[in-house]
Structure 1
Amino acid sequence: MKKYLQLAVILGSGTVGALLAQWLGLPIPFLLGSMAMSATVSLTTFSRTGERLWFPARLRHVFIAVIGIMIGTTFNADALNAASDLAITLPAMVLFLAIAQIVNFGIFRRIGGFDSVTAKYAAMPGGLIEAVSLGEKAGGDVEALSLQHFVRIVLVIVSVPLLFQLFTDEIVGSAAGKTLERAAAEWQDWMLFSVLVPIGIMLGSLLKLPAGPLIGPLVLTAIFQATGVIDLNGPDMLVSVAQLVVGSALGSNFARSTPRRLLSAFSLGVLSVGATLAIASGFALLLERAVPMTFEALLISFAPGGVTEMSLVALSLGVTPVLVTTHHLFRIILTVTVAGILTGRTNHIGKG
């Protein structure tokens, strides 16, 4: 009963926060609002216990899969047509990730005072769940890693839409009413979701894909959608609920934190995200001369976080979301894969 009471409080507070954020017109309100309110309640109500709040992983994975499927529905022939451009931008992203990793490592190691292992995984520009998991295996500070990557995602999905609004005077992303829903969903679409969610999660687990609950369903849906096997229209309401559940789950991690640690994490996060976005801007300026993509499209493609919201920002700017999503998936997969290899080597050396 205690566990289910905690779950009810987390989801209840997340719902209130999501509706409030929507009323205020914030970007990606169901994710940010639920995270913020759930974190506030967890920090003020449960932090005294020092215990991690109970939130069933399966529930979170199901709704992460829903988001993955929704992104997968944006894949079409445009992805193949953009292959020549991706041949230029994806190698550039490899260099971008290397530079961002080095710069962020310096911030967390020198300014934040993290130990070298924690600093290395906190500096990873992608893969929240994977970064924390790999960092734990390598002996890093799990709480610090969870908090720092949480802060990274929040700052990116808040700052990028607000920066576009500031400099272009146009509202973008979900705050502009943009959604990934292409048409009204019918009962066949709901049936497809009920089939793709479990199969996609199973696929991600069997293939040991990074961010398996997201990438498995996404890749499965993208293949079927791009080849014309299915024509899935994802209900926007379902995506909102998914974001609410995932956001509430992330916010519940604050039950073991303190206001002082939060302030420190956000201060370091501002430095890290600011530096990373500055580097991304430099790459965008250079690449817009080589590929038929605008500076804005390249910037949101290189921004380190928020696949769904960056796709919505792309829709607002008239950019095909598939291009943005492809870059973000490449960023996450490459970052997690390299970190996994390094972690394996470190553990092997330690055992030897």
Structure 2
Amino acid sequence: MALRKPFFTFGSKFMQNKTAQYLQLALILGAGVIGAMAAQWLGLPIPYLLGSMSASAIVSLTTYSRSGEKLWFPLQLRHVFIAVIGIMIGTTFSPEALKTAPILAITLCAMMLFVCAAQILNFGIFHHIGGYDRVTAKYAAMPGGLIEAVTLGEKADGDVETMSIQHFVRIVLVIMFVPTLFQIFSGETVGSAASQTLESSPSDWTDWLFCAVFAPVGIWLGARLKLPASHLMGPLLLTALLHAVMAVDIQGPSALLNLAQLIVGAGLGVNFARSTLCHLLSAFALGFLSVSTTLIMASGFAYLLASVVPMSFTALLISFAPGGVTEMSLVALSLGVAPVLVTTHHLFRIIFTVTIAGILTARSERLGKGNPGS
């Protein structure tokens, strides 16, 4: 008679896997804390974001090269703190912000021109200099929408790994370049390294309570309304609406913002794990060229628009810089530069970019362009 395998064996393996996952998470977050502290000591801009991201990337690359497995970092944890960032942006909203509608009419039209010019420029860099096939270059060149760009590119038979790395490199380089350049040219330390805070008055336990409640409610709202960047936009819109009608007055706790930067940065760094050093160096070289030229173009747009609309050059540059909406909104928060306006511009950039790419993809399919080199 065959003996049954005891149930606790399965339970034991399950617990071992869970323990290993939590140890990996502790390693990533521990590295993030050390990186953030080092970056703050060095006086780097937005140290909690850039420091944790750099340290997490180093640990992830080193660990993956030895074990062949990516360190565990729960996506839900990043989503929660992206929601916190959305709440923080929402706390900066006031009824006066509605007066910016005429400004947006001008700047969003300029954004459409910027997106088209950036797409053409980046395609040339990736195809003619990087040697990517036309499909991979076309979707790697999109100045926004990482997930959407890779999804559309995969459907068109592009190189998924190359497109993913190139878009991730774009986001990383932009969030490193923008605050660093601002620090160099202004001569001032920016972000939490300069003790900047969103608090107009000291926060208390009620502010933490509001954040704890608004985060899950906002995430649900964003998913329900099918908003782009829903984990960011749901909490942002909820908080902004309640602030606009003066139902609440949340003082964004600076400690919570620093923690959000650390978690988001550590989560970004983990994504470097599966890349080879050679592939990363190549992607960063092309990304450096692409981001540099795109930021020069963004600076030109910002300079021209600053003489037409009542927005500062810094706010306009951050609005046109082709980073991720979450990350650039966090940069705007850290620099104390019109985060609501910056977020609006980035959402429009991503929606417009993805819409145009979707139309072109559908048109290519109708014309029967099935080979990757077309």
TM-score normalised to structure 2 length: 0.84
CA displacement at 1:183 relative to structure 2: 3.0
**Residue 230 of structure 2: aligned partner:** 212
Which consecutive unaligned segments of at least 5 residues does structure 2 have? 1-16
Which consecutive unaligned segments of at least 5 residues does structure 1 have? none
Tell me the distance in 2 between the aligned counterparts of 1:258 and 1:27: 28
**Residue 150 of structure 1: aligned partner:** 168
**Residue 118 of structure 2: aligned partner:** 100
Q: For 1:218, give the aligned amino acid.
A: L
Deviations 1:317-350, CA, capped at 9 Å, x for gaps: xx54333333223223333444455556667887
**Residue 265 of structure 1: aligned partner:** 283
Deviations 1:299-330, CA, capped at 9 Å, x for gaps: 222122222113433x2xxx543333332232
**Residue 33 of structure 2: aligned partner:** 15
**Residue 80 of structure 2: aligned partner:** 62
Q: 1:207 to 1:337 in 2, by over 3 A?
A: farther
Tell me the distance in 2 between the aligned counterparts of 1:349 and 1:26: 51
**Residue 11 of structure 2: aligned partner:** none
Q: 1:178 to 1:257 in 2, by over 3 A?
A: same
TM-score normalised to structure 1 length: 0.89
How large is the RMSD of aligned CA atoms in angstroms? 2.5
174, 177, 181: which one aligns with 2:195: 177
Whether the 8 Å contact between 1:46 and 1:255 is mirrored in structure 2 is yes
Q: For 1:116, give the aligned amino acid.
A: R
CA displacement at 1:276 relative to structure 2: 0.8
Q: 1:164 to 1:4 in 2, by over 3 A?
A: closer
Q: For 2:299, give the aligned amino acid.
A: S
After TM superposition, the structure 1 stretch with the greater mean CA deviation from structure 2, 141-150 or 259-268, is 141-150
Q: 1:183 to 1:145 in 2, by over 3 A?
A: farther
**Residue 330 of structure 2: aligned partner:** 308
CA displacement at 1:75 relative to structure 2: 1.4
Secondary structure at the aligned position of 2:175 is classed as helix
311, 333, 342: which one aligns with 1:324: 342
**Residue 12 of structure 2: aligned partner:** none
Whether the 8 Å contact between 2:123 and 2:141 is mirrored in structure 1 is yes
**Residue 6 of structure 2: aligned partner:** none
Q: 1:58 to 1:168 in 2, by over 3 A?
A: closer
Whether the 8 Å contact between 1:19 and 1:33 is mirrored in structure 2 is yes
193, 215, 239: which one aligns with 2:211: 193
Q: 1:127 to 1:311 in 2, by over 3 A?
A: farther
CA displacement at 1:277 relative to structure 2: 0.9
Q: 1:342 to 1:196 in 2, by over 3 A?
A: farther
Q: For 1:55, give the aligned amino acid.
A: F
Tell me the distance in 2 between the aligned counterparts of 1:4 and 1:340: 39
**Residue 163 of structure 1: aligned partner:** 181
**Residue 275 of structure 1: aligned partner:** 293
Whether the 8 Å contact between 2:45 and 2:189 is mirrored in structure 1 is no
CA displacement at 1:39 relative to structure 2: 0.8
Alignment of 1:32-47 (within 5 A): 32-47=50-65
Q: Whose Rg is larger?
A: 2
Secondary structure at the aligned position of 1:254 is classed as coil
Tell me the distance in 2 between the aligned counterparts of 1:211 and 1:30: 22
After TM superposition, the structure 1 stretch with the greater mean CA deviation from structure 2, 134-143 or 111-120, is 134-143
Tell me the distance in 1 between the aligned counterparts of 2:195 and 2:209: 26
Tell me the distance in 1 between the aligned counterparts of 2:60 and 2:365: 34
1:117 aligns with 2:135: yes
CA displacement at 1:167 relative to structure 2: 2.6
CA displacement at 1:135 relative to structure 2: 3.8
Alignment of 1:215-230 (within 5 A): 215-230=233-248
After TM superposition, the structure 1 stretch with the greater mean CA deviation from structure 2, 265-274 or 329-338, is 329-338
Secondary structure at the aligned position of 1:229 is classed as coil
1:127 aligns with 2:145: yes
Q: For 1:18, give the aligned amino acid.
A: A
**Residue 288 of structure 1: aligned partner:** 306
Q: 1:83 to 1:58 in 2, by over 3 A?
A: same
Tell me the distance in 1 between the aligned counterparts of 2:299 and 2:369: 42
**Residue 95 of structure 2: aligned partner:** 77
Whether the 8 Å contact between 1:50 and 1:255 is mirrored in structure 2 is no
Q: For 2:131, give the aligned amino acid.
A: G
Q: 1:173 to 1:38 in 2, by over 3 A?
A: same
Whether the 8 Å contact between 1:124 and 1:131 is mirrored in structure 2 is yes
